[in-house]
Structure 1
Amino acid sequence: MQGNVGSKIRDARKEQNITLRDLSERSGLSVSQLSKLENGKARLTVDVALMIAGVLHVPVASFLFSPKPGMQARRSITRAGSGILHHGNAMEFEVLCSDFRDKTNIFWRVTLRARSFEENGGWRSHSGEEFIHVLSGSLELHTVHYDPTVLQPGDSILFDGEMRHAYIALGDEPVVMLMSNTVPRDGLPAGAVV
Structure 2
Amino acid sequence: MDPDVAQILDTIGPRVRALRVERGRTLRALADETGLSVSVLSRLETGRRQPTLDLLIPLARALRVALDQLVAAPATGDPRVHLEPYRHGSGGVVVPLTRYPGRVQVFKHVLGPREPRLVSHEGHAWLYVLAGGLNLIIGDREHLLGPGEVAEFDPSEPHWFGPADDTGVEILHLFGPRGDRAVVRVGGPDD
Give me the TM-score of the superposition, normalised by structure 1. Answer: 0.47
Which structure has the highest helix share of the two?
Answer: 2
Q: Flag the structure with larger Rg.
A: 2
Give me the TM-score of the superposition, normalised by structure 2. Answer: 0.48
